[in-house]
Amino acid sequence: MPNVRLCFFVFFAVFLLSESAWAKRFAFERIEMGVLIRIIVHAEDAATVEKAANAAFDRIRDLNATMSDFDDDSELMQLCRRSSEEFEKTGTGPWMRVSDDLFSVLESSKRFAELSDGAFDITVGPVVRLWRRARRMGEPPKPERLAQARELVGNDLWELDKKTQSVRLKKKGVQFDLGAIAKGYAVDQAFEVLLVAGLEIVLVDAGGDLRVGAAPPGGWKIAVPESQDEMISLENRASATSGALFRFVEFDGVRYSHIIDPKTGYGLTTPFIVRVSAPTAFEADALASACSVLGPEASRKLLKAFPNAEVRFVDP
Ligand code: ADP
Ligand code: MG
């Protein structure tokens, strides 16, 4: 007669091992939104994983088509253009209905602007454009051009109506720029696609704005951009990093970051890197940009509204 206890033990051991023995690691990469997007999944069925990863990448591509300010045909660019055209014709800006995704990002952006006293402000578009031009031309923006552009920056220059899912720009030439939040939102949405497909041990990384789900055996070990030897462990959480170190333009020995202080119109010259972890990637992304502008002291007030976020200022 077979040893019942031994059979039970073997069955139990196989059951315990099954998760780690059958689950494999799958990694995918694609360029979307101008960055390398990485998706890592630990699961059993290759076909399910591949299908879900493709759907997640496609979701990011669609969001780029909605929110990019580099693509003249994006919903965002059409919206701003239409508003300015209506101003030309009628002297006033129309209410414009927008997609669910765009409304959600605009609604969050308004909240971040309010809570950060304007340090985070998606109307920086005209100023960002001047700095992009400055980088191409190799000379700083002219102060009078900056002053003009700053006339179009302000959280009070646009409003939302939740009932009709609409937005209205209150001045001709207002130009949204979702560069500080859209990538985080896209990471969250891609993450959601993977979860809906039944995958749990997942990582979505868009150039350092990332979100992870349940941990694989050994945990998720994430390299941090500001230090070559340091790794952080994350589980069911998101992380984003911002700072002058990553993208800047240099004039007369001064480095101006691609993050703008909306109050001055100048790129930040503060050297520190801000790393945020938060429950979602859009929060981490937006908070990293907002805290970069505010600095360690002034960030405290903003962070009170996000008790589940952790922020670290690193002075390299
Ligand atoms: P990345 O992760 O790509 O380095 P960030 O999340 O740091 O970008 O956001 C920077 C981008 O956000 C800029 O390139 C610009 O498009 C936009 N931006 C710059 N300054 C601000 C600001 N004060 N508030 C909101 N958006 C900003
Ligand atoms: Mg950001």
Q: What angle do CA 39, 312, 118 make, to 5 degrees?
A: 95
How far apart are alpha carbons 33 and 49 in whole angstroms? 22
11 pLDDT higher than 50? no
Q: Is 60 in the pocket of ligand 1 (CB under 6 A)?
A: no
The reported pLDDT for the residue numbered 224 is 79
Pocket test for ligand 1, best of 259, 266, 272, 283 (most atoms within 8 A of CB): 259
Range from 81-95, 125-139, 232-246 carrying the lowest mean pLDDT: 232-246
**Closest approach atom of ligand 1 to CA 241:** 2
Q: Is 268 left (phi over 0), alpha (psi -120 to 50) or beta?
A: beta
Handedness of CA 100, 211, 279, 243 (dihedral sign): negative
Give the tens place of pLDDT for each residue, 93-127.
Answer: 999 999 999 999 999 999 999 999 999 999 999 99
16 pLDDT higher than 60? no
Q: In the sheet that 166-169 helps form, which strands lie side by side, from edge to edge?
A: 96-97, 166-169, 158-161
How far apart are alpha carbons 80 and 69 in whole angstroms? 10
Determine contact, residues 98/106, Cβ cutoff 8 Å: yes
How far apart are alpha carbons 292 and 299 in whole angstroms? 8
**Closest approach atom of ligand 1 to CA 69:** 16
122 backbone dihedrals φ, ψ, rounded to 5°: -75, -5
The CB-side HSE value for 12 (13 A sphere, CA atoms) comes to 6
Query: What is the residue-averaged pLDDT of the chain?
Result: 92
Domains observed in the chain: 24-68+180-314 (3.10.520.10), 75-169 (1.10.3980.10)
Q: What percent of the chain has pLDDT over 90?
A: 83
Q: What's the start-to-end Cα distance of the chain, in Å?
A: 69
Residue 167 β-bridge partners: 96, 160
> How many angstroms does the Cα of residue 17 sit away from the middle of ligand 2?
40
Q: What percent of the chain has pLDDT over 70?
A: 91
How far apart are alpha carbons 76 and 174 in whole angstroms? 12
The reported pLDDT for the residue numbered 249 is 87
Span 245-254, mean pLDDT? 83
Pocket test for ligand 1, best of 289, 292, 293, 294 (most atoms within 8 A of CB): 289
pTM: 0.92
